[in-house]
Amino acid sequence: MTSSRRWQVASYSRGTASGGCQRKNLVDGRWYKADTLGAESFAEVLSYHVNQTFGFPSLRYEPGIWQMGRRTLPAVVSHDYSGGGNVLSVETLIRKMSGQLWYSILYEKSPAAKFEKLAEFLASYVGEGIRQYLLDLFMTDFLNGNPDRHLSNIDMIYRDGFYKMAPFFDYGLSWYVQDDVDEITSDNVMEAVESISFRPFNLQGKAFYQFLVSLGAVLKIPADWEKELEKLKMVIYSMDGLYDADFLASRVLLLESRMAYILKL
């Protein structure tokens, strides 16, 4: 990987955000986030490329380095998508604006009813397109194996009385970066692939995909798939200076296995 694609990040900054546990700073219209639990930056970068490959535009993440004196951490850089507006999580919006509906959405046991209540509530702010937005968003979570799509990880932007949905973001726990699969082999990789439980519906593995399809979600496999897969592998190898070789090799195996699993669905 060339050094020109990496960003030197100062650890001192005027701005930060309240949510999450990662180090994060806003500097000159760019958000910098450093790895905290494992390899979140790796997951963000790979997920962005996977989303692009499958035709789901999402927030662009580029690999970077967070510098704290002599110590450095892998980091990720993205632009500030608020455009000068106010970023509100869907959870905050529901709590502030919906009254009892909040409990109704939170404790709804049927995944389909939960989805419809959520879509109906958000449609009153951003219009009917929200249904497709949510289906696409959840499909990207399935593609990348993202277990962390709680309602604080779906954002809206509010400005001067108007609302719009934020670009798809926050895939930092995708690609099994938190799993104890230090040594992923061809023997245990499918177990890891099928094991993910997807929020906010708590549906596991294939059941989540079937649920999304039942609601009308569509996943189109790109033409010339083999070539696209090779490009995604190159994205992994491009992070060679940030993560060790064994980690990257295990993620290539996971990428191949997860994609093979998805193609068979």
CB of 38 to another protein, least distance (A): 12
Question: Which residue pairs, CB below 8 angstroms and at least 24 apart, start in 10-17?
Answer: 10/67, 11/66, 11/67, 11/68, 11/69
CB of 28 to another protein, least distance (A): 12
90/217 with CB nearer another protein: 90
| Residues in contact with 225: Cβ distance below 8 Å, sequence separation at least 6, in sequence order | 263
20/205 with CB nearer another protein: 20
Tell me the H-state helices in 169-244. Answer: 189-194, 206-214, 225-237
Could you list the residues that contact another protein (CB under 8 A)?
11-12, 14-23, 25-26, 36, 82, 86-88, 92-93, 95-99, 158, 160-161
Tell me the pairing of strands 62-68 and 30-34.
Answer: unpaired
88/212 with CB nearer another protein: 88
CB of 168 to another protein, least distance (A): 17
178/195 with CB nearer another protein: 178
CA pair distance 244, 240, nearest whole angstrom = 7
13/257 with CB nearer another protein: 13
CA pair distance 211, 213, nearest whole angstrom = 6
| Residues in contact with 116: Cβ distance below 8 Å, sequence separation at least 6, in sequence order | none
List the structure tokens of 11. Answer: 């650890």
Q: Residue 199 in contact with residue 149, Cβ under 8 Å?
A: yes
CB of 62 to another protein, least distance (A): 19
CB of 102 to another protein, least distance (A): 10
CA pair distance 57, 259, nearest whole angstrom = 19
List the structure tokens of 12. Answer: 């001192």
CB of 97 to another protein, least distance (A): 5
Q: Residue 45 in contact with residue 76, Cβ under 8 Å?
A: yes
CB of 15 to another protein, least distance (A): 3
17/263 with CB nearer another protein: 17
17/218 with CB nearer another protein: 17
